[in-house]
Every structure is written in C-alpha cells, then in structure tokens.
A and B are shown apart, each in its own frame.
Chain A
Amino acid sequence: TQLLEQSPQFLSIQEGENLTVYCNSSSVFSSLQWYRQEPGEGPVLLVTVVTGGEVKKLKRLTFQFGDARKDSSLHITAAQPGDTGLYLCAGEVKTSYDKVIFGPGTSLSVIP
C-alpha cells in the first residue's frame, strides 16, 4: 500500500510570513501533484512534478520534487489570507491500473 504523509497537519501563520509544507512517502511516484481545496469545493490543481529534483514556481509558491521521487515540498513566500485552504499532495500509482491517491492534507490559515 502506497501512503502519502503530509506535515504539518495544521498551520496558522500571520500574513507576510513564509511557510513550507512537506509530502513524504516510502514509495516512488511517477508523478506528484499539489492541490488546494476550499471548504465545500473540489480540489484545484496547482502543479504537477514529474522529474526527480524538479523545481517549479507559481508566483509565490515554489514546489520541489525529491531526487528519489518519494517526497515533495511546497513553499509559500509572504503568505496572504487568500492562501488559506487545505493543501493536498497526490501521487500517481501505476499498478495494473493507474490511480491517484491523496495525502491527509495540510490545513493552512493565514491571519491578516
């Protein structure tokens, strides 16, 4: 069973601070996605990382895929209240069929 772990589970910070969310697994993933979800809505895709060591930037968000493709991080610079939400990492598992499994999520609250 491939499992994804995320840390921290909950994070409350002041506007303007920086933060990093981690996603870890003992398994290797062919790709990994980061999503952001607001209450009562479906997750929205932020980024997909495929290559070990890959770094992608999306405005104030920086995503990194570990060299061994077992872990990833999401760094937010100068957090804003609009960044508040549930951040989920998801990994693609290739078995007899392809499926995407999710980590437990990091609930981020940015206080004005």
Chain B
Amino acid sequence: GAVVSQHPSRVICKSGTSVKIECRSLDFQATTMFWYRQFPKQSLMLMATSNEGSKATYEQGVEKDKFLINHASLTLSTLTVTSAHPEDSSFYICSARRGTKTEAFFGQGTRLTVV
C-alpha cells in the first residue's frame, strides 16, 4: 500500500517562532503533494499544491511568506509555519499522489498549538 508519514504528530510552540512539518511518502515517489488545514469539526481546506522541483501553488487567501512549502525530493515535502501566532493553531494534513493516479494518500496529520 501507499504510506505517507507526517512528522511531528503534535507540536506546541511559542508565539513568534517557526515550526516545520515534514511529509514523507515511504513506499512510492510522490510527484505531487498537497497541504491542508482543518479546524475542529470542519472539513479540509486546501492550502497549497506542490510539485517536486518547482514552486508551490497556493490557494487564494493563503500567505506564501507565512506558510513556506518546499518539495525538494520525490519523497519529501515540508511546510514551515513562520512567525506562528495562536490563530495558526490547527490540524495540518499532507497528502501525496503517485504520478498521474487520481488517489491521494494522507499522512496522519500534525496538531499545531501556538501558545
């Protein structure tokens, strides 16, 4: 099966600091990775789409300079929340797609709490 691992699963940081979240495809090469944000009892909101070796495409309303996405290899994408504030506290989830296949497989998510 296709396994996507996200790390860390939980992180608490102080306001003003930066946090990096990693998303790895363990048994396949992910040409495309997606980053989502999910608030309690709500659905997943797409933040950005990243393709290996190119700049991420951000959805409207998502600040590029605040949510830095890097997809340096076919198995790793990172999301860095810069200068985090309490309102950035949320559940962040990545997913990865193999080649042109339609299915995307999800990581287990990262619970970010900014205090």
- Interface set of A (CB-CB < 8 Å, partner B): 30-31, 33, 35, 40-45, 48, 50, 88, 92, 97-105, 107
Contact = CB atoms under 8 A, between A and B. Distances in A.
A contact face: mostly helix, strand, loop, or mixed: strand
B84 interface: no
A98 B95 CA distance: 13
B51 to A, nearest CB: 7
Contacts of B41: 107
A100 B95 CA distance: 10
A41 B109 contact: yes
B19 interface: no
Contacts, number: 59
A92 B44 contact: no
Given A40-B91, A100-B95, 19 more contacts: A35-B106, A40-B109, A40-B111, A41-B108, A42-B108, A43-B44, A43-B93, A43-B106, A45-B106, A48-B102, A48-B103, A97-B49, A98-B49, A99-B49, A100-B46, A101-B46, A102-B43, A103-B43, A105-B42
Interface size class of B (residues with CB under 8 A): 20 to 34
A82 B27 CA distance: 28
Interface of B: 4, 6, 32, 34, 36, 41-46, 49, 51, 57, 91, 93, 95, 97, 102-109, 111
A48 B43 CA distance: 18
A104 B104 CA distance: 18
Contacts of A30: 102
Contacts of B6: 42
Q: Nearest 10 A-B pairs (CB), nearest first?
A: A42-B106, A31-B102, A102-B44, A104-B43, A105-B43, A42-B109, A102-B43, A42-B108, A99-B49, A43-B106
